[in-house]
Structure 1
Amino acid sequence: MSTAQKTGAWVFICGPSGSGKDSVIAYAQQALAARSDIVFTRRFVSRPVHAGSDHDALTPAAFAALAQAGGLSWHWRAHGFSYGIARHYDEAVGAGCLVIVNGSREHVNGLPASPDRLVLHITAEPTALAQRLLRRGRDSAEAVARRLERNADFDAMPADCVIFNDGELADAGRQLANYLEESTLSADAGPTQRAR
């Protein structure tokens, strides 16, 4: 009797501004540092790096050249910049690893369903999102309101797991780490899960 061959998968983690997505991913990455079968990608972005950046900078011209040469597994545009994931991560998926991408809702929402792709949505209640956006001071109240209105475009976005980051960061981070640890990585990924 043969057993199902486990295969690797891409996990795209998306979320609205103010959801704390980057912090939740960083928490899970640290918690899973000993797991060689769970790989967190580092992105190329066409903007400069600063202290604590989680990406490698490329000029727009260099980014375009890399994409044209087939050096990226995935690439998209968001907030006026280009984002990409290096082609070498394909090897990790091929080796059976779960490969994590800090993604874009608009990009992921346009991808066809695939057994080697999981989508995880990190979000928070609208009042929490608004408070965080106002607290960080990058946007006016009007701009924050527009961001929250735009979130409605993704309310029906399919996801294999939804995590609400409304409380302590450790709670959401642990939920993400647990989800990744428990994923079977099989071609017939399990039913949709909702964590809160």
Structure 2
Amino acid sequence: MKGQLIYVMGPSGAGKDSLLAWLRNHLPAEASVHWARRTITRPVRSGDEQHHSVDAQAFQRLCDTQAFAFDWEANGLRYGVRHVELAPLDAGCRVIVNGSRAYLSQALIRFPELEVIHVTASVDTLRARLLARGRETPAAVEARIERALAFQAPAGAIEVYNDGSLEDAGLQFLRAFHRG
């Protein structure tokens, strides 16, 4: 692998997707970055990340044919990153994967040299953002908060705190990106 694999993860409500969008808009054109597109068992909705939408049966067929470099299940959905999405590594590109905390240990087994960026926020910020989304009951929000508190980022992971403005967190992210 000539390039650098960057694995970005964080709890729901940390603003990971917003930060990834911010980074896309603030990286210089010559940055040589490939944004790994995920395959998800969820329809594409306005405002969502751009992903390959498939049903559960199609996802399983892709698993059966070993199409994925990474695949996991979270929050009732299945996610995968196809091998072809990592191919730019061979050309020396940086590849950014929007990953899962629960899958990180398996990702590190497959790619021990990957750079881990953990996007997080305070408990109060996570709770406020999750409740504002209105997609889950307060009990489900608290369960997500408990999972976030239980997670320990591995040694060497870069922490990006997203409690303030998106630009402040984005600049942290950009500094971390340039260190790698």
**Cα displacement string for residues 78-126 of structure 1 (whole angstroms, at most 9, x for unaligned residues):** 1111111121123211111111011110001344465531111000011
Q: Say if 1:12 and 1:102, in contact at 8 Å, map to a contact too.
A: yes
Residue 179 of structure 2, aligned match among 177, 182, 189: 182
User: Structure 1 residues 104, 131: closer, same or farther in 2, change over 3 A?
Assistant: same
Give the structure 2 partner of residue 81 of structure 1: 77
1:92-111 equivalences under 5 Å are 92-111=88-107
1:35-54 equivalences under 5 Å are 35-54=30-49
Q: Say if 1:120 and 1:159, in contact at 8 Å, map to a contact too.
A: no
**Cα displacement string for residues 141-169 of structure 1 (whole angstroms, at most 9, x for unaligned residues):** 22222211122221354452000001000
Q: How many residues align?
A: 178
Q: What secondary structure sits across from 1:10 in the alignment?
A: strand
Bigger-Rg structure (1/2): 1
Give the structure 1 partner of residue 5 of structure 2: 10
CA-based RMSD: 1.9
Residue 163 of structure 1, aligned match among 144, 160, 163: 160
The unaligned stretches of length 5 or more in structure 2 are: none
Q: 2:19 aligned with 1:29, yes or no?
A: no
Instruction: Find runs of 4+ consecutive structure 1 residues off by over 3 angstroms.
Output: 109-115, 156-159
User: What TM-score, normalized to structure 1?
Assistant: 0.82
The unaligned stretches of length 5 or more in structure 1 are: 1-5, 184-196
Residue 63 of structure 2, aligned match among 51, 64, 67: 67
Q: Which one has the bigger helix percentage? A: 2
Percent of pairs with identical residues: 36
Residue 143 of structure 2, aligned match among 143, 146, 167: 146
Q: What secondary structure sits across from 1:142 in the alignment?
A: helix
Q: Say if 1:18 and 1:132, in contact at 8 Å, map to a contact too.
A: yes
Give the structure 2 partner of residue 20 of structure 1: 15
Which stretch shifts more, 149-158 or 133-142? 149-158
Q: What secondary structure sits across from 1:105 in the alignment?
A: coil
User: Structure 1 residues 140, 90: closer, same or farther in 2, change over 3 A?
Assistant: closer
